[in-house]
Amino acid sequence: MTPDSSGLMTSTPTRTAPLQEHIDRLIHELLASFPRPEHLSPDERRAIIARYTAVLEGNFIYWMTGTYLSVASEDAHSIILDNLREEVRDNHPGMLRKFAIAAHAVPTDSDALAVYRNLESVRRFVAQLSGVKILLMMAFFEGFIMKFMPYLADLATRQGSAEQEYTDVHGVCDVVHTQELFRALEAEMRLTPDPLPSPTRLLEGVGLLRALIQTIVHHRVEDPVHSRC
Ligand SMILES: [Fe+2]
């Protein structure tokens, strides 16, 4: 996609709209690529829950904190702070750990090793503290998590678990979180002088996170540099 055809280089007040449409499409394509839970073995189902837990439990709040440190606008700071407050106050990491325990899918050394390389790539990206790019990555993340919850809940149910608090909460609250992050993006982009970086550079974090999610589900290491975004 070229900058002209995508509309990503315009400076209208709604210049986040093409980015949001693009991210929605990426999430849809990602979910459509996943194997159906009924076609997976119990070991494969356990491993997906375990790898998801290995990535989300210890990194989501850290990456959202990195986003807070990266942005400059008052609106973005306020939106991200609300998100962080909810994560900590409602103990979302504990909720996810409970979900993994109930599904007999607590991450092992092998699960952590399977995601290590792609996880490290996202960590290095977050360390750049680049406001607009990291906001795009987190908006993609929230949007993905929300739409992934029915799939994750299905995997856990098939593993004999009745624990659904984590998936119930994130299937609902992340609708608001995603919209709020795009509002933060709009505020942040108002502070970014034109022209914006190219779409390829803006979506760098999205591409890295998408490769990590593909590893969680497919346990296939994809080169993010050459993956289409
Ligand atoms: Fe959460």
| pLDDT, tens only, 6-55 | 444 444 446 788 899 999 999 999 999 999 999 999 999 999 999 999 99
* Residue-level pLDDT at 11: 42
Q: Quote the pTM value.
A: 0.88
Distance between Cα 107 and ligand 1 center (Å)? 18
Contacts of 226 (CB under 8 A, 6+ apart): none
- Ordered mean pLDDT values, 10 residues apiece, the chain (229 residues): 40 72 96 96 97 98 98 96 96 98 98 97 97 95 96 98 96 81 92 78 96 92 51
Domain that residue 120 falls in: 20-25+40-220
Looking at the domain assignment, is residue 6 inside a domain?
Answer: no
Looking at the domain assignment, is residue 160 inside a domain?
Answer: yes
* Residue-level pLDDT at 27: 97
Looking at the domain assignment, is residue 205 inside a domain?
Answer: yes
Q: Confirm if 222 and 215 have CB atoms less than 8 A apart.
A: yes
CATH number for the domain harbouring residue 63: 1.20.910.10
Q: What are phi and psi of 179, to 5 degrees?
A: -60, -40
Looking at the domain assignment, is residue 228 inside a domain?
Answer: no
What does the alpha-carbon distance between residue 197 and residue 107 come to, in Å, rounded to a whole number?
A: 38
Distance between Cα 92 and ligand 1 center (Å)? 5
Looking at the domain assignment, is residue 1 inside a domain?
Answer: no
Please state, in angstroms and as integers, the Cα–Cα distance from residue 56 to each residue in 41, 143, 196, 229, following that order: 23, 14, 30, 22
Distance between Cα 35 and ligand 1 center (Å)? 24
HSE (CB half, 13 Å, CA atoms) of 36?
2
Per the structure, the count of domains in the chain is 1
Distance between Cα 205 and ligand 1 center (Å)? 19
Looking at the domain assignment, is residue 130 inside a domain?
Answer: yes
Looking at the domain assignment, is residue 198 inside a domain?
Answer: yes
Please state, in angstroms and as integers, the Cα–Cα distance from residue 7 to each residue in 2, 68, 228, following that order: 9, 27, 18
Distance between Cα 150 and ligand 1 center (Å)? 15
Place of tokens 């993010």: 224
